[in-house]
Structure 1
């Protein structure tokens, strides 16, 4: 039986995040909320919780921290922001986007900016992805966190240094694992170092 470290949230439920900076061109909180509400109505998505931050200090974002926690509490599978520039300001294009994935949710933008066009999809779950020509069978960020060994023990993968490298270990004990092989939802996969650092997992076909 495959062990999962988190429960994938419902694709019909979202946590919404609004960030206001001092930039005069920045959309106001009501405008961002209106955009997210319109998107939710079109897509038939329930907004389970709203969280907001104000100001430029990227080190102080209690609203974002609360929004990430709310994903798990609400069982939400979507983390909604108004637009790509709001996602960038929020830091969601980096570690916080990964943090949402670790909680079973994926980032969506109300206006569709910066989002995959749907022509390429995760080979495991079918979620839309940006095509990565060097790794055409790469799995999505959500599925990466469901990787196990052949017996169902959860795995984690890391770079060995800032410049790259590859390391695998068991998530339940921290014990190192000398293998690139893993299994996601019964599909055999391979984890490796990405070209410019980070970890990529690709489906290689066949069932475990």
Structure 2
């Protein structure tokens, strides 16, 4: 069988997967509607979060807080590495300082390198429990990362299984601290075109 003949089947499998995933997500969303309604509408709202690193601004947490206050942001991106050698009391005092200025923490980035080799992944996963504990002390409840739209060596199925295993392990560590993991799909044409094997697109 030629590659051209196999392609429709692979495409169909991806389409079927995406359809079933969307249906499951919709079902979970609808199932949670009564619970969310009982908690009261209006408690959750969007707020402006300063992710200074995303716009090329170098700043420690104190500087980020100062920028947030100066330019009207209600949140900043956490950097747990700055608090590795801080005591619980120091961290608590810092959080109170932020609250006094009307600023909170937004989502943190996932520090575990899950896209590359196994050794890099294991190193990051080993450090994650300590980092997650610090994030919890800082009041962080969300961690986010992104999914690339392809891979140079792994087929769709191989890549899917690797993502499933690695992200499940990372999410489990975060979950132990009451932190949820969010995923973003990054799929511009330029990113999709540079990989031999497409993924989730």
Per the shorter chain, which TM-score range?
under 0.3
Instruction: Pick the structure with more helix per residue.
Output: 2
Q: Which has the higher strand share?
A: 1
User: Normalising by structure 1, what TM-score?
Assistant: 0.25
